[in-house]
Amino acid sequence: MNAPNRATLWGRVLADELAESGLEAACIAPGSRSTPLTVAFAEHPEIDVYSHLDERSAAYFALGRARRTGKPTALICTSGTAAANFHPAVMEADRARVPLLVLTADRPPELRDSGANQTVDQVKLYGDAVRWYAELPEPEADERKVRSLRTTAARALAETTGVQPGPVHLNCPFRKPLEPTAVPGDVPDRFAETAAARGRDGPFVETTDGTRRLSDEECRPIARALETADRPLVVAGPADPTALVGLEPAAVTELADRLGAPVLADPLSGLRFGPHVEGEREDEGGNPGGPRSIYGGYDTYVGHMPPPDAVLRFGASPTSKPLRHWLRDAEAQQFLVDPAGAWREATFTATDLVAAEPAAVVDAVLEALGERDGRADGWLGRFDAAERHHWTVRDQALTADALEAAPFEGAILASVLSNAPDPATVFVSNSMPIRDADRFGRPRAADLTVLANRGASGIDGIASTALGAGSATDDPLVIVTGDLAFYHDSNGLLAVDRCDVDATIVLLDNDGGGIFHELPIEAFDPPFTEQFKTPHGLDFEALGDLYGLEFERVAPVDFSDAYGRSLERAGTQVLSVEFDSKGSHRRRDALAERVTDDVETRSDS
Amino acid sequence: MNAPNRATLWGRVLADELAESGLEAACIAPGSRSTPLTVAFAEHPEIDVYSHLDERSAAYFALGRARRTGKPTALICTSGTAAANFHPAVMEADRARVPLLVLTADRPPELRDSGANQTVDQVKLYGDAVRWYAELPEPEADERKVRSLRTTAARALAETTGVQPGPVHLNCPFRKPLEPTAVPGDVPDRFAETAAARGRDGPFVETTDGTRRLSDEECRPIARALETADRPLVVAGPADPTALVGLEPAAVTELADRLGAPVLADPLSGLRFGPHVEGEREDEGGNPGGPRSIYGGYDTYVGHMPPPDAVLRFGASPTSKPLRHWLRDAEAQQFLVDPAGAWREATFTATDLVAAEPAAVVDAVLEALGERDGRADGWLGRFDAAERHHWTVRDQALTADALEAAPFEGAILASVLSNAPDPATVFVSNSMPIRDADRFGRPRAADLTVLANRGASGIDGIASTALGAGSATDDPLVIVTGDLAFYHDSNGLLAVDRCDVDATIVLLDNDGGGIFHELPIEAFDPPFTEQFKTPHGLDFEALGDLYGLEFERVAPVDFSDAYGRSLERAGTQVLSVEFDSKGSHRRRDALAERVTDDVETRSDS
């Protein structure tokens, strides 16, 4: 490893070691202090570099890419407030377990708290939101220091995808010259010969990540509890990025089929969509046969079902509040499988925590399963009936006549997911869109990767996260966002051109925070309209002009056609559909009532 | 104090106590968890409330308002990433000593790290960047708890404007109901009768802030050193918001006149502009007479002057790098006056730290001053000559012919400051605009409040900070920004309409990071253009359309006319002036050379 000066050496060793350890992409915001990093990453042939002008958007873009791939993305910025702009995405990466490697350039230690310009306290800037924080030593062509740098790089990357994946922060002090200008003697020629400089063949440190598995003995009580249950259930909450890669849907459905358990599959679980979901159910007999145990309409009806008596739970807390409350109120044995052993279950009703990899647990339980003892009399059948009825009611609400009479935002999510190409990446904003995706997104035998920022559930960074996810794949990218989220990360749209990612952006514009109509604060106006609903009157066509996006206003009834056309076109289109959020809420309630009336009638009969 | 439930009580007591303690304004971003705060602040008759949709912009708006007034502004947001979006502005408030009171709503303690939605670790979220962090107790109509709440509110506000003003963070957990819905028995009727509920007449706790002053004895050596110096100097760096209010310019010029010392006044010092600056200097004799000791052109010539031998320094580190280096290289006794006793002097050449209020120090030194012993042979005269020549060269570069031939960004800053109405608030972005304001902003006997975010010197939050400053005054508001800063805080422009602040926005558009042309990295392309200069090609007229701003493209030679017209119009205008940043740098260098050649010639003769 040759370098004209020590700062350049530092950047190059770091980029080299990270690339050897598997880093494939970096998002960089311009700045002076970070020059050694920027130069090294930009020149590295194995690292794809994305340039961003707003650090907040850069961080969310990196998050999206890492979430889509399950692999770490690096983030690079200069010193000062730039690093604080990364904070929201770092927080989301923490909660959502997304591997991010944050590299913040810093002034040298003697300038801290000295009144020097653009110098702030970056030490442990993100607090406990990172898996690991380290400060790099000051650059120097010293054998031990460079070995430590390589080791730190390898360790940092490994930590991002460790037992609990997440963000890691390396603070990187540099002093001038920051550019690759020659400083005679700074990096002696002979240094290029050292082991630390050259590295080894491959990574300097090879990390082998063990997997938390269950022994046969540990597995048996779980298998026994499930196979003896009368009303066994599998709940798949939002998946972690690495689990998304690791969990085998067919194994889950096999397990569910053998148990006679429905799989309630969150839209973010990686299980609601995919080749393992096949056709319609024909049989109301409650027989477990056939790999068709994926249920998606439960948000409407689950509160009206009898409680489960044994539950196997994967992933984070489900998006559906009715599901969470139903689980809370069930007196069931609940096995919560979490690879990091971190209770992610805010209703505090899990009885058993299983700290192991979900995929390994499924395999081991399948292995340990004996004959089914439990009696699922009508258990699956009731789910089948309710599920079928839910989608029938939904489909009736989606006809042109029905939509003309009663447009609602859920219809758009229904269409987005049902008509998305196979394969596709669909990124759904928080607030109402993800809830509507949960309720109206029908399980489909298509390779849809449905993603959202469900760690901290903010409405910030939506466009950037989605575009970052899109940058990692050739799948068509669909983004569903509300107007507040679209405004919040409008800067992120620069990545369409700058990072060359195309998308169909579905904008549900109800002029403000429609979700607040669902809360009791609606009755208190003021301050409801001015401080909660916050209508802004923005016409986003101008934003389309700014970022070179095609902008089309679409009536709800015409949405599916416009969506289909957009998916066939190159470039990025914004399909803006205006809604009255109150009307959407009313429609949602009315549809739910039709489903639950039916469920109640059946259970009465 | 009556309230329908405990959460409402909590919000109302907090708002009530803060208002009694002097809080006048709050910036609120919508959210559910923060409902008790939002409702209470919005309904309080003494608190002006500004609603924002992007928390990052909200925080900068609050920062700008607090900076302009020297009084704390409150900031309110919901739980989750919203709070992290405040971080950049909190960081700036820390470094720039701006009083901010950050109120983040939080989930109740049992939901933390539980997997609950929109729940993150907000404890000590901003690390050491805040003067004080406290977690409010959970709401309850309990006499002691409410007394503690009132005391905490009073203390938090006092901390924001304490010895070292800055941000304070109160984390505020709430549980449902969050809305002012009646919960019988939650706040007993008799509670309204208690002292804690009613408060006292006026604030519950009255804070009297002592001022750090010098005794006569402490003052004498400072006075003696200055009066015996041959080349005494006063340097006024960027002022703290509260000092801006407190330091009396006439007292500083009186002191300088009695010492025969030039005052090198940073454009952000509060001393470069104001009624104390009178007319042109006529006399090259070096006589101290007349209150005209304010110098502003030093950035060009100071490095060519003989070194001072005694320096009295106020404020933060000066914007001018030549000045900082000249002071570093002088073997002078340097008195650094800082009310917080925090060395803000990154060249580490101060010999004496004076931890006292600048205004009090000036008064005390004036008092202690004897007859001047020092001989300032030609000292003031040399400054006069260089200063006069600097402005002559500048003025020649501003003629229509000169501007046609050699347009440069500094010409715009010159015009902005020379032609700003009296009074006016002028907010200048970081990167090149503030440097050009420093070099080309001529001292003027007009009441200009020139502000910038010079704490951490980021280019984020510029529009919001400026509009926040503008919201606090009826002065005309002028904002000078580069294109990257304009892009970065484009969301902040929503406040023009939403918070009803008008401005003349001067956009220096050189399509990317022009400042990087001044750095050695320019020679390395790639990655210079793609990763540093980062041309984006954005046409900001569309942004004007989005936010309802009038947008006008102006040639450099026509700028002063367009500027004058804008200042007379209502509404907000964007005057976009395109520049080639390389050309601007060349012109800057050429003008500086003309000045320094003259200075050198004089010192040779």
Tens of pLDDT, residues A552-576:
999 999 999 999 999 999 999 999 9
**B-interface mutation test, from A75, A120, A314, A491, most B Cβ less than 10 A away:** A120
Q: Which tokens belong to A127?
A: 């607090």
| Beta strand A294-295 pairing with A310-314 | unpaired
Quote the pLDDT of residue B374. Answer: 65
Q: How far is A382 from chain B (nearest CA, A)?
A: 29
- All residues of chain A having their beta carbon less than 8 Å from the beta carbon of residue B493 are none
pLDDT tier at A290, thresholds 50, 70, 90: very low
The answer, for B423 touching chain A at a CB cutoff of 8 Å, is: no
Which whole number is the average pLDDT over A20-30? Answer: 97
Q: Give A348's contacts in chain B (Cβ within 8 Å).
A: 114
- Partners of A85 on chain B (C-beta within 8 Å) are 56, 87-88, 460
Percent pLDDT > 90 in chain A is 83
Distance CA A388, CA B125 (A): 47
Under 8 Å between Cβ of A432 and A457: no
What pLDDT is stored for residue A287 in this prediction?
A: 44
Q: Do B81 and A92 touch (CB under 8 A)?
A: yes
Neighbours of A401 (CB within 10 A): 9
pLDDT of residue B251: 92
pLDDT at A372 over 80: no
Distances B283 to A379, B286, B290, B378, B437 between C-alpha atoms, Å: 100, 7, 10, 11, 26
pLDDT of residue B285: 47
CA distances for A514 relative to A186, A403, B30, angstroms: 60, 19, 12
Mutate to test the interface with A, among B119, B337, B531 (most CBs of A within 10 A): B531
**What is the interface pTM, i.e. ipTM, of the complex?**
0.96
Task: Answer whether A536 sits within 8 Å of B56, measured CB to CB.
Answer: no
CA angle B122, B125, B126 (to 5 degrees): 160
For chain B, positions 581-600, list CB contacts with chain A under 8 A.
none
- B563: phi then psi, degrees, rounded to nearest 5: -65, -45
CATH number of A216-377: 3.40.50.1220
Q: B333-379: per-residue pLDDT in tens?
A: 999 999 999 878 888 889 999 999 999 999 999 999 987 776 666 89
What is the rounded CA–CA span in Å between residue A358 and residue A214? Answer: 10
Q: Tell me which residue in B51, B95, B534 faces A51 most closely, judged by beta carbons.
A: B534
Closest residue of chain B to A179, computed from CA coordinates = B521
Taking residues A258-286, what's their average pLDDT? Answer: 80
Region A539-546 average pLDDT: 97
Q: Which residue has tokens 């299983």?
A: A354
Tokens of A8: 């350049």
Q: What CATH number has the domain spanning A6-178?
A: 3.40.50.970
Question: Which of A91, A111, A344 has its CB closest to that of B81?
Answer: A91
Distance CA A505, CA B171 (A): 36
Categorize the per-residue pLDDT at A195 as very low, low, confident or very high, splitting at 50, 70 and 90.
Answer: low
- Residue ranges per structural domain of chain B: 6-178, 216-377, 398-593
Q: Between chains, do B88 and A94 touch, taking CB under 8 Å as contact?
A: no
Cβ separation A115–B317 shorter than 8 A? yes
Which residue among A35, A84, A178 places its CB closest to the CB of B91? A84
Fold match, B6-178 / B216-377: yes
Q: Which residues of B253-281 are buried (b: 16+ CB within 10 A; e: fewer)?
A: bbbbbbbbbbbbbbbbbbbbbbebbeeeb
Residue A486 reports pLDDT greater than 80: yes
* pLDDT tier, B279 (very low <50, low <70, confident <90, very high otherwise): low
Residue A431, min C-alpha distance to chain B (Å): 11
Q: What is the mean pLDDT of chain A?
A: 93
Helix and strand numbers (H, E) in chain A are 23, 18
**Which chain A residues are within 8 Å of B38, Cβ to Cβ?**
527, 531-532
Closest residue, chain B, to A49 (C-alpha):
B531
| Mean confidence (pLDDT) of chain B | 93
Q: Quick one: pLDDT at residue B115?
A: 83
- Shortest Cα–Cα distance, B470 to chain A (Å): 21
Give the Cα separation of B553 and B543 in Å (integer): 13
pTM (two decimals): 0.97
Smallest CA–CA distance, residue A445 to chain B, in Å, is 29
Strand partners, A524: none
Nearest to B56 among A32, A56, A533 (CB): A56
How far apart, in whole angstroms, are the C-alpha atoms of residue A51 and residue A30? 8
pLDDT tier at B287 (50, 70, 90 boundaries)?
very low
A582: Cβ contacts below 8 Å, ≥ 6 apart: A514, A517
Chain A, window 320-379: residues with a beta carbon less than 8 angstroms from a chain B beta carbon: 342-346, 348
Contacts of B345 in chain A (CB under 8 A): 114-115
CB contact under 8 A, B115 and A532: no
8 A C-beta contact, residue A583 and residue B579: no
Write out chain B residues lying below 8 Å of A128, CB-based: 121
Residue B532: its chain A contacts at CB < 8 A?
30, 35, 38
Contact B431, B485 (CB under 8 A): yes
Strand-pair partners of A100: A73, A167
Q: Determine, for residues A458 and B121 on separate chains, whether the beta-carbon distance falls below 8 Å.
A: no
Q: For position A243, what pLDDT does the model report?
A: 60
Please list every residue in chain B whose beta carbon sits closer than 8 Å to the beta carbon of residue A547.
Answer: 538
Q: How many percent of chain A have pLDDT more than 70?
A: 95
How close are the terminal C-alpha atoms of chain B, in Å?
A: 78
Size of interface A-B (CB pairs under 8 A): 252
Q: Dump the DSSP string for A490-505.
A: GGGGHHHHHTT---EE
Cβ-based neighbours of B110, under 8 Å, separated by 6 or more: none
Interface test with A, best of B86, B120, B133, B489 (most A CBs within 10 A): B120
* Beta strands in A38-158, from DSSP E residues, in sequence order: 48-51, 73-77, 100-106, 132-135
Using an 8 Å Cβ cutoff, are B572 and B578 in contact? Answer: no
Per-residue pLDDT at A197: 65
Window B:26-85, CB contacts with A under 8 Å: 28, 30, 32, 35, 38-39, 42-43, 49, 51, 53-56, 80-82, 84-85
Check pLDDT > 60 for residue A291: no
Name the token pair of A134. Answer: 């380290």
Which of A51, A79, A117, A327 would you mutate first to test chain B, the one with the most B CBs within 10 A?
A117
Alpha-carbon span A260 to A3, nearest angstrom = 64
Quote the crossing angle between the two packed helices A6-20 and A143-160, to the nearest 10°: 40
The predicted pLDDT at position B280 comes to 46
- Token pair, residue B394, equals 């500048």
DSSP assigned state of A173: E
- The per-residue pLDDT for range B6-57, each reduced to its tens digit, is 999 999 999 999 999 999 999 999 999 999 999 999 999 999 999 999 999 9
Residue B329's CB is within 10 A of a number of other CB atoms, namely 12
> Which residue among B81, B348, B539 sits closest to A88, beta carbon to beta carbon?
B81
Spatial contact of A521 and A585, defined as CB atoms under 8 Å apart: no
Give CATH for domain A398-593. Answer: 3.40.50.970
User: Residue A599 has what pLDDT?
Assistant: 86
The CA distance from A501 to A489, in Å, is 16
How confident is the model over A150-167, as a mean pLDDT? 95
**Looking at per-residue confidence, does B244 or A18 come out higher?**
A18
